[in-house]
Structure 1
Amino acid sequence: MATISDVSRIAGVSKATVSRVINGTGQVKESTNLLVRQVMSELNYKPCSVAQTLATKRGNSVGLVLSDFTGSYFGILLKEASMSADRMGKQLLIADGKNHAVSELKAVHSLVDKKCDVIVLYSRQLSSEQVVALNQSIDIPLVHIGRELPVEAGYSISFDQKHAIELAVDHLAKAGHRSMMYLGPEPTTPTAMSRLNGFKQAIERRSELDICVNYAMSGFGYIEGYNATKDILKNRILPSAMVIASDDIAIGCIKALSEKGILVPKDVSIVSIDNDPCSLFTIPSLTTVDVPIQEIMAQAMLVAQQLSEGQNKFNSEIIRGKLIQRDSTQIVNIT
């Protein structure tokens, strides 16, 4: 692989001159510029993008901070971000927030150091106050996905979590269910808090139905849902319907139920959230609320491109999902 020293030697110029040609800085004769570029082409020399960034103070890149990489949800998100960056003609630089507030801050600052043009942040752990302070402390635009944030935090595009839960509860209530359980994570992240609070508020709005409610906790994931359901079956009477905070949890839940001979939806109806691609292929297929993460990320990347081009006036957006009715719910007799 050719190096800058090879280009310098064959072109008969200093490495500093080659560097000025690459970065378009300083005074270089046109004839020398053409010679250096011809040698670079003949050697198939590719300049180091990091070195170019440091020299020009422009990275021609979009940074993306995530706190999780597991599951198809984040796979879809990453794929869309990568395709959008390609269409923009920019590099996509990814940093791991490690599901911890301090790590999320470090991840953002690592991308600031790499001179990204704009940073897309999917934060699970930073408070609204921390995000606002972060936005005010750096000179690179921030685009937030997944959370509704104050305007001082920068542009944000979020999913209406409470509305998604409202759709789930409404579907079950109209189907005649008067005994429901919410199964989801401890309310330690904005998403978990919104989904749990959304369930409580949806039940309160239907107080005249006298719905019997129970709650159980489960981390996001198939295994977590499976184990949480096994604990439920040991200690509690199963409701006629469950609102489950994610498709992954629901899939684990259905397996645990089936192992005990409990059938979905005959014995218990289930509505979950996300519309993961695999939710169509479970047995039974999952009734779920679609979270259009691909569209959300595409819009976030579009705003990122416009911010990198100098536009700076955007109204934050809240996207709503829709119920996808499949086979995991059924109508029961209303008494």
Structure 2
Amino acid sequence: MATIRDVARLAGVSVATVSNSVNDPGRVSEQLRARVLKAIESLNYAPRAAARSLRKQSSGLLGLIVADITNPFFTELVQAVEGIASQQGFSVLLCNSDEDPAREEKHLQVLRSQWVDGIILATTGDVSLSRSSLLSQIRVPVVLVDRAFDGLGLDAVVLDNRLAAHQATEHLIRRGHRRIGLLSGPTSVTTGADRLAGYREALLASQIRFDPGLVLEAGFREQQAYDATVALMRLPQPPTAVFAANNLMAIGMMRALSDLDLRCPDDVSVISIDDFAWANVFRPKLTTVAQPVREMGEMAVKLLTDRINGHRSGTGSTHMLESRLVIRESCAAPVQGTQPEPMPVESAPSR
């Protein structure tokens, strides 16, 4: 088994620097700590605290990496995960990738060096070769939540995002809208791609032609959604309704409509995926498609602890949960004369 001196020699630093990198990282520069962590990874070195944990067969720690801690969805998810983990005797180490794949990989490396018993990961996008390799080297169970990866054989707990987007779009169509704008998430993320697909499927099911000019990618971020909403509403023929594919984008959308002096739902109807406490505070109260966030978090912990305790083995499976339409006040029939002429439709994409 590698020693701390082996790590120091490989990293080209002192033993004290290795110790500080593990136990007091604030005293070490990022550059030096990265060298030490790389050496630890190469040598499979286990610090003393981790070695004690290995002898006990458990550290009592779970890692949780979320994509954006400012998003109320992830705040609620963290609360659910921490609550159920605590009931089972685990503490949770929380990491925020801020939608940055490189930062996510760094968090995975750190959690690996801390010898957590398992990791719950809300990833930032498509799996890269480096991330795939890193995940395959992690010797503890990993459960994906909210966003899935194909081909890695990991357990995942996700929303039926196509269904959720279909519900939102269909609700607007039933109110009479035919020109519906979409504030989309990045299609490199499964949630973004699937919600765009669900939007298209709902349009095509109602014989409404998909217009790519009404879809603007806003990165699941508030300010980007604000800018995209302004762009949509300044089109020569603006949409009569706008669908925001998550709650942060809904906030940016509503802020933009207010700054443009557009009344909702008199001038434009709005709907979003993700219900949150503030939806009832907006005027009008927001119609949303709610995710079962607490159920997602609790199921992710259960899948993880079942693998930790040896009650679950083999290739992982994906557990898909359904959304719920919450009708409030932000959707109404469009103003007469604002609808486009019917256009031929294209073939619907396969589900």
TM-score calculated relative to the size of structure 1: 0.76
State the match for 2:70 in structure 1.
70
**Distance (Å, rounded) in 2 between the aligned partners of 1:119 and 1:210:** 43
C-alpha offsets along residues 103-144 of structure 1, whole Å, 9 cap, x if unaligned? 322322221221111111111124287665444322211111
- Whether the 8 Å contact between 2:232 and 2:239 is mirrored in structure 1 is no
**Matched AA of 1:229:** T
- Residues 129 and 201 from structure 1, CA distance in 2 versus in 1: closer, same or farther, beyond 3 angstroms? farther
- Where do 1:280-299 residues align within 5 Å? 280-299=280-299
Which amino acid counterpart does residue 53 of structure 1 have in structure 2?
A
Task: Please show how residues 63-142 of structure 1 align to structure 2 within 5 Å.
Answer: 63-127=63-127, 133-142=133-142
Question: For 2:52, which of 55, 68, 72 is the aligned residue?
Answer: 55
Aligned residue in 2 for 1:154: 154
Higher alpha-carbon deviation: 255-264 or 281-290: 255-264
* Alignment partners' CA distance in 1, 2:108 and 2:210: 45
CA–CA distance in structure 2, aligned partners of residues 174 and 235 of structure 1: 24
> How far apart are the structure 1 equivalents of 2:318 and 2:233?
43
Equivalent residue letter for 2:324: K
Residues 83, 239 of structure 1: CA spacing in aligned structure 2 closer, same or farther, 3 A cutoff? Answer: same
Per-residue deviation, residues 173-205 of structure 1 (Å, max 9, x unmatched) = 122112211122342322222222221232222
Deviations 1:142-174 (A, max 9, x none): 111012444743211111111111001111112
Please name the residue that 2:19 is paired with. none
Closer, same or farther: CA 319–131 of 1 in aligned 2, 3 Å: farther
Gaps of 5+ in 1: 1-49
Q: Is the 8 A contact 2:184 2:217 kept in 1?
A: yes
Query: C-alpha deviations, 1:271-314, integer Å up to 9, x for none?
Result: 11101221121111111100122210111012222121112246
Question: Residues 133 and 201 of structure 1: is their aligned pair in 2 closer, same or farther, counting only changes over 3 Å?
Answer: farther
Structure 2 match to 1:30: none
2: CA distance between counterparts of 1:136 and 1:195?
Answer: 29
Q: What's the secondary structure of 1:153's corresponding residue?
A: coil
Which stretch of structure 1 is more off in the superposition, 100-109 or 76-85? 100-109
Q: Once the two structures are aligned, what percentage of the paired residues are identical?
A: 24
Q: Any unmatched runs of 5+ in structure 2?
A: 1-46, 342-351
Structure of higher RCO (CA pairs closer than 8 Å, 6+ residues apart): 2
Structure 2 residue identity aligned to 1:54: A
Counterpart CA distance in 1 for 2:191 and 2:329 is 26
Corresponding residue for residue 181 of structure 1: 181
Amino acid at match of 1:56: S
Moved more, 280-289 or 220-229: 220-229
Q: Distance in 1 between matches of 2:304 and 2:211?
A: 46
Contact map agreement 1:169 1:199 (CA 8 A) in 2:
yes
In the alignment, the residues of structure 1 paired with residue 210 and residue 98 of structure 2 have an alpha-carbon distance, to the nearest angstrom, of 39
1:243 match: 243
- 1:322 aligns to what? 324
Q: 1:86 to 1:262 in 2, by over 3 A?
A: same
* Counterpart code for 2:286: L
Secondary structure of residue in 1 paired with 2:261? coil
Please report the TM-score for the alignment, with normalisation by the length of structure 2: 0.73
Preserved contact between residue 246 and residue 273 of structure 2 (Cα < 8 Å): yes
Query: SS of 1:89's equivalent?
Result: coil
8 Å CA contact retained: 1:180, 1:212: no
CA distance in 2, matches of 1:216, 1:187: 11
Instruction: Give yes or no for contact 2:71–2:247 (8 Å, CA) kept in 1.
Output: no
Q: 1:185 to 1:111 in 2, by over 3 A?
A: same
CA contact (8 A) 1:265 1:329 kept: yes
Superposed CA RMSD in Å reads 2.5
Q: Sort the Cα spacing of 1:134 and 1:319 in 2 relative to 1 into closer, same or farther, 3 A.
A: farther
Q: Distance in 1 between matches of 2:138 and 2:228?
A: 42
Q: What code does the residue aligned with 1:283 have?
A: R
Which residue does the alignment assign to 2:302? 302
- Answer whether contact 2:154 2:317 (CA < 8 A) is retained: no
Cα distance change, pair 56–266 in 1 and its aligned pair in 2 (3 A)? closer
Where 2:201 maps in the other structure, the secondary structure is helix
